[in-house]
Amino acid sequence: MSEHSIYIEDFGHARVYLRSMFRMGTITQASQKDLERALVILAHAQDRNESEKHETESFRATVTQLLQVRVSEKLSHRASLLRRAAMAVSRGSVLVAAVALVLSVVWHRAAVSAVPAQSSQMPALRSPSP
């Protein structure tokens, strides 16, 4: 948890703390866990008048957007790690294929040079014996 984590022991106090986070602008730096807690606080909000209702809706929209950003960042980071792993596997397979090609050429040349040279003349055809 961050230094200024939101605790959900008392929704009234947590709501006051959440309001101060919005006023100071620190809500934009909240962790994913703190944003999830903020949504729980806002879900349990008991608005006493129209202005609190409007504030709650505004806070919910902002927290939801910030939470979507945190999730997108996390997914982007994971996708980047997977991309790097896929590139490493791809490079490894190209290397293995190149080594296999070189070995097959060397093996073929060794096999061809091991066969005794044959005459380039065609053998004479003989007539079949009766």
Would you say 34 and 5 are in contact if contact means Cβ atoms under 8 Å apart? yes
Bigger pLDDT: 128 vs 15:
15
Lookup: tokens for 81 = 């790690």
Task: Please state, rounded to an integer, the average pLDDT across all residues of the chain.
Answer: 86
Burial 40-51, CB ≥16 within 10 A → b, else e: ebbeebeeeeee
Residue with tokens 């090609």: 101
Question: Residue 17 pLDDT more than 50?
Answer: yes
Name every residue whose Cβ is closer than 8 Å to that of residue 1 and which is 6 or more positions away in sequence: 31, 33, 34
Model confidence, pTM: 0.63
- pLDDT-based confidence at 13, cuts 50/70/90? confident
List the structure tokens of 11. 């929704």
**Per-residue model confidence as pLDDT tens digits over 61-114:** 999 999 999 999 999 999 999 999 999 999 999 999 999 999 999 999 888 887
Q: What angle do CA 28, 12, 71 make, to 5 degrees?
A: 30
CA 36 vs CA 4, 25, 33, 65, 67: distances in Å: 14, 17, 5, 11, 7
pLDDT confidence of residue 110? 86
Q: Cα separation of 4 and 49, whole Å? A: 28
Whether residue 1 has pLDDT greater than 50? no
